[in-house]
Structure 1
Amino acid sequence: MRNDWAVRLGSLLLVVVVLVGCSREPERYDFGVAVAGGPQGWPIWGEKVVFDDRWRVGAGAIDSGYESVPPTGKVSVISNPREAPQKVFARWFSHRNQTFYEIHLTLPEDMAQQVARWYRQYPRSDYLHTLIVGLSGAGEAKVLWTASCMSCEWRDFSKDFQATLIAGAQGQEVEGDPYPYVYQTTDFVDQGVIPLPDGFQREEMPPIKSWFSGEQ
């Protein structure tokens, strides 16, 4: 009899452990990620934007958006729902000062709880949730979460939501080769977007026909 009770007690404890383990499984959410650059006059090239050392989004050339409230940028749609991230790593290049920056950001400890609350207040059926990473040409970074009302009238932003997760952090200057961006920098200078950077060596782009013919 004692053995039967021991078996039953052991089975009950196992069920409790399994249930507790399942209840602690992180929630996953369907949200987009936007990378903002700039501000105007400070164009960047975003090389890497990585979350939790596991997944990333594209960035590329961005010449504005950092100065907007909230910051604006091309939204990358995440293929599968993901849990709320805890860490962000970014590396980018500033055309104006020919400098590479890197930054490691830790989001608030209660990030998962905050996101869960925002999804209850702003349901996915009516709102588009977006995690925004802003990278400036002066080396600063900020992170926000927004919920944009999709069921509201056009250009009615009164019901939109935004929360600043990191108001501003300074990236670290790091080594890098600016030569791959020389043509883009030259183009920004010619358009008057940026002044000629100190020590910058202009390099004219080869004629378009040589790109196809192989001539140099």
Structure 2
Amino acid sequence: MNIEYIHSWSMEPVQAIDLQKKLRDKLTFEDYSREPRLVAGIDVSFPFREIALAVIVIMEFNSLSIVDHFFSLKKVETPYIPGLLSFREGPAILDALSRSPEVDLLFFDGHGIAHPRGIGIASHIGLFVEIPTIGVAKSLLYGKVESLPREKGQSSRILSPGGRLLGYALCTRTSVKPVFISPGNRITAESALRLSIRTIGKYRIPEPTRQAHILTQRLKNQLVL
């Protein structure tokens, strides 16, 4: 996959926050009207305290069948700081993406613009690649859900304190806690929701990031053993 390395990752938290504020103005949001063929789910785990394992699972969009996968192990240079997840996981993700062929969409286990500074990991990494990115998070980091959706396929808007649309809470299983969909880069919130709905399988987590998570855990266990 083609990657444009727009900055280095090694910096102090105050510098990282300042960079996030500058980068968020570079995000673009476009309707996605075409039919994707290949999509990828991205997940990161930590088999060891200072080692990140990033996994890319490529899937055929219509069938949600796995086509291929790629992974990377990288030493972590940045501690965990809330709101700065991309600085911890980004290097491993980009290394894994550099081994992958081009796909049409990337789904991240994390947030897009539903982030205190408007640039979660799906948005941040989205600036390094030339394809749309979508955040699929298991919990809400920023914003407020208008009303909690409870039926499978239902959704409710996530709004910023100022009323800006940040994404959608999406119910993927009836009476189960929703997931939180937000656009990363090169896609609108509405398009991100529509495409995420089509990746719902039998489980709470949509298939691209669910399958990526399954593989990270399998590989992590092999490394630990």
Q: TM-score, normalised by structure 1?
A: 0.24
| TM-score (norm. length: structure 2) | 0.23
Structure number with greater CO (CA < 8 Å, separation at least 6) is 2
More strand by share: 1
